[in-house]
Each structure stands twice: as C-alpha cells, then as structure tokens.
Amino acid sequence: MTTDNTLNATSPAQERLPEIVRLLRELHPDAKCALDFENPLQLLVATILSAQCTDERVNKVTPVLFARFPTAQDLAEADREELEQIIHSTGFYRNKAKNVQEACRRIVSEYGGEVPSNMADLLSLTGVARKTANVVLGNCYGIADGIVVDTHVKRLSERLGLTAQTDPEKIERDLMALSPQPDWIDLSHLLIFHGRRVCDARKPRCAGCPISYLCPSAVLVL
C-alpha cells in the first residue's frame, strides 16, 4: 500500500481526507452497508431497529419480521404485541415497534406504500432522523444527500481531526464540506468498517493502521 509522503498528521484536513479515503478503499474493498435488506422498506425498518443494537443482532431478527410482515401495510396493521415480541432482542422494543408502525402508516397513507426517495419526506416519518434517511437514500436509491454519522463515524472523525464537533449533524456538515459529494456514501462505509476492524473505541490498533501517519490522535498512542 503506497502512501503520500508529502502529507502528515498536521496537514490540513481537506488535504488529508482524499488520501485517507484512498487508503481505506484499498484496506476495506468490501465496505458496504452491514444490514441485510432486499428493498427500501426493509432497510428503513432495519435501520430503525439498529439504534443501540448491533447490525448482527438486527440481521437475525429481520428475516422473521419480514416473513411475517412483508409490506408497509402489513407492518402498519400488525398486532403491536406480536411485533414487539419479534423485535424484542434489539432492545427498546416498545419504542421501536411504535416508530416502525407509525412510519409505515404514513408510508401507506401518504406515499402509496413506497418508501420515499427524498430527505424531506423521509424525515417526516416517525423515528427517522438524518442518519436513517441517509442510510436509505445512499444504499437504496444511490442518492448522496448527506453522510451517515453513527458512533464509528463520529469517533473516527474526531480522532482524525476532521471535526471539532460532537453533535452528529454538525459533524455531518463538516464532513460534507471536506469531501466531494460522490464520496459521501463511500466515506461513511469506509469509516464504519475501519472503526470496527482497526480503530476500536477502547483499543485502537494504531501500530498496524495504514492511515496512522495522517491521524493526529495516533501520534499520542503509538
């Protein structure tokens, strides 16, 4: 893996980020959405369920859920207790069941049973904030309207010195300003995969990290 010797951890963020993205693409060529889905509705629901829960756990629940309730209409009309029982292991199941049903009711009543493909309409759905909307737009519709900021993206953006913010929406704005729009979808996938595989929350493996020379935080732990 070749590196750009003209850059280092003190270089401006807008100069470092393109190289960070290039190196992460080499390191994680399989970076993609880790939630299993076959259509926009499935990804929308899976993303709502993934709050405070691992993608692996959600992927164990959703096949049962969508076999029982395959459409927005089915979910909207589902027995709440049965829905809660199916998604129980994802945590916060009562609130998640409520959000899923209310979102699906609006999808049925306002959008003909189809998940909308624009930010404003997605944000009108119960339980959907920018993170969930960006996940659906990017992975289902190929629309880069923003950048997904989850716990990994937040942590790595701070460690890499790409933002001084702590609020996800402000972090998103900083990342959008630093990177070209065609990279927005990939950027979140790459940071998430790197966060899971290398830049661990408690024990980042800086010694073997190919972007450590571009990371202000790595200098402190190497």
131 as an active site residue: the answer is: yes
The string of DSSP letters for the chain reads ----TT--TTS-HHHHHHHHHHHHHHH-TT----S--SSHHHHHHHHHHTTTS-HHHHHHHHHHHHHH--SHHHHHTS-HHHHHHHHGGGSSHHHHHHHHHHHHHHHHHHHTTS--SSHHHHHTSTT--HHHHHHHHHHHS---SS----HHHHHHHHHTTS-S--SHHHHHHHHHHHS-GGGHHHHHHHHHHHHHHTS-SSS--GGG-TTGGG-TTHHHH-
Return all residues near 76 (Cβ < 8 A) that are at least 6 apart. 101, 104, 105, 107, 108
List the catalytic residue out of 131, 174, 183, 186. 131
Which of the residues 145, 150, 174, 186 is marked catalytic? 150
- Which sequence positions are flagged as catalytic? 131, 150
